[in-house]
Amino acid sequence: MTPSETAAVMAGTLAAEKARSVSRRHPGKLVLGGDSVLEFEGELISKCADRDAAMTLLTRLSGKSHAIVSAAALARDGAIVWHHTGEGHLAMRDLSPNFLNNYLDMECPAILASVGCYHLEGRGAQLFASMTGDYFSILGLPLLSVLSALRQEGALKS
């Protein structure tokens, strides 16, 4: 299995388990679960615990590319009724220690809740030279696919 396939399996499993768990406590309700995994040089990267770990991770990612794999699952009564995995690839620009310290001063601790330690929709966009793939998956949820599935399930009007 390739690292990207492993990341997809991991994200999919986490999303499905979240949806299943909550749906068991809310009978008859449609529940959405989601999760994201960062794959870098064959390694799956977790969220950072503190600012020092964020600095270490961002220094490792600087000047290199990585993938974000995000999965979503819909469950009803403990059973998965739909799932999807989306992916995006990001090329981080070369980042100086001064820039990273400034960035972390402004963005911590909020970014510690995000795998990769950035919010692409905010200041985190400054970290990157380019990106390809599903923008919403990079943000953490393959939104267009989720919206389509919600319409198919009758949870949203067509």
Catalytic site positions: 35
Closest by alpha carbon to 82, among 158, 5, 12?
12
Q: Which amino acid is at 128?
A: F
Residue keyed to tokens 């768990």 = 21
Return the structure tokens found at 46.
Answer: 């977790």
- Tell whether omega for the bond before 109 is within 30 degrees of 0, i.e. cis: yes
What is d(CA 53, CA 49) in angstroms, rounded to the nearest whole number? 6
**Do the beta carbons of residue 119 and residue 73 sit within 8 Å?**
no
Burial of 154 from C-beta contacts in 10 A (0-12 / 13-18 / 19+): exposed
- Residue count (the chain): 158
